[in-house]
Structure 1
Amino acid sequence: MMSAVTEIPAAPSDLAVAHFAAEFSFETDCWDVHDALSRGPDFVLLDVRGPALFARGHVPGAINLPHGKITDRRLAEWPAETLFVTYCAGPHCNGAARGALRLAQLGRSVKIMAGGITGWIDEGFDLATGA
């Protein structure tokens, strides 16, 4: 008897390799961001939530730029080749994807930090507070 897991066969290995390899082009995780921040990041970390939520708790070193305010003018201070990493509240929030989409539409390189604030806290990392 088949379960819901086995009812649809798994993808062939070559397709699985392409799929899972591509995921790393689109996202990173909280652990890797934390490690990079401790070494001096080679990307700009954007908290795309509103200022009130940012002030209550954010990843140390993040810049608050709500996804609806991402414009060419706001990005002008960073070189065109800058990699941006966006995050929001967590897996229940699509703000990181909205911010990433906006950055990509503006021709900027971008990844999402999977897990957002929820993932950051789950890893046991501290939050900064204030603006």
Structure 2
Amino acid sequence: MPTLNAVIQTPAADSAAAQAHFQATLQFETDCADVHGALASGAPGFVLLDVRGPALFAQGHVPGALNLPHGKIVASRLADYPPQTLFVTYCAGPHCNGAARGALRLAQLGRPVKLMSGGITGWLDEGFALTQTASAGEVAKANG
């Protein structure tokens, strides 16, 4: 019998509970590779939001992402999108909770939302390129 350690000390959930848990996780999160593949298809079916500030967005962001800092996610900024529009949020990476803050704001506004786990860090780890905006000032003006 193996020595008790932190991994085996608490038994794994039964298969039904594990299935329910992991299915639920996929309702809230997606990953960088899936986002990349969907964007490459030309018809992703979602709006990708970089919820970091304009200066960081200008330095490098996922191609096709829109910059809407999590603190500026309000109903009026979403008015041009049909209510069923799925939004996917991301921020700097696993050390940042901006994507969760943005996702929470969207959910509070009754919008479908998922979080792209890994953020910029995950995107780069997958070997995907970032794109840059001409200047941080232009992005700041656009974000008013």
With the shorter chain as reference, the TM-score category is over 0.9
Q: 1:60 is paired with a residue of what secondary structure?
A: coil
In structure 2, what is the equivalent of residue 24 of structure 1?
26
Paired with 1:66 and 1:76, the residues of 2 have a C-alpha distance of 16
Number of residue pairs aligned between Structure 1 and Structure 2: 131
- TM-score, normalising length: structure 2: 0.89
> How much is the aligned-residue C-alpha RMSD, in angstroms?
0.6
Q: What's the % identity of the aligned pairs?
A: 72
Paired with 1:22 and 1:101, the residues of 2 have a C-alpha distance of 16
Match for residue 4 of structure 1 among 3, 6, 10: 6
- TM-score, normalising length: structure 1: 0.98
Q: Highest CA radius of gyration, 1 or 2?
A: 2
Alignment of 1:1-131 (within 5 A): 1-40=3-42, 41-130=44-133, 131=139
Displacement after TM superposition at 1:12 (Å): 1.3
Displacement after TM superposition at 1:13 (Å): 1.2
Q: Runs in 1 of length 4+ with deviation above 3 angstroms?
A: none
Paired with 1:119 and 1:85, the residues of 2 have a C-alpha distance of 15
Can you give the 5+ residue segments of structure 1 that lack an aligned partner in the other structure? none
Paired with 2:85 and 2:9, the residues of 1 have a C-alpha distance of 44
Displacement after TM superposition at 1:123 (Å): 0.5
Paired with 1:19 and 1:43, the residues of 2 have a C-alpha distance of 24
Paired with 1:96 and 1:67, the residues of 2 have a C-alpha distance of 8
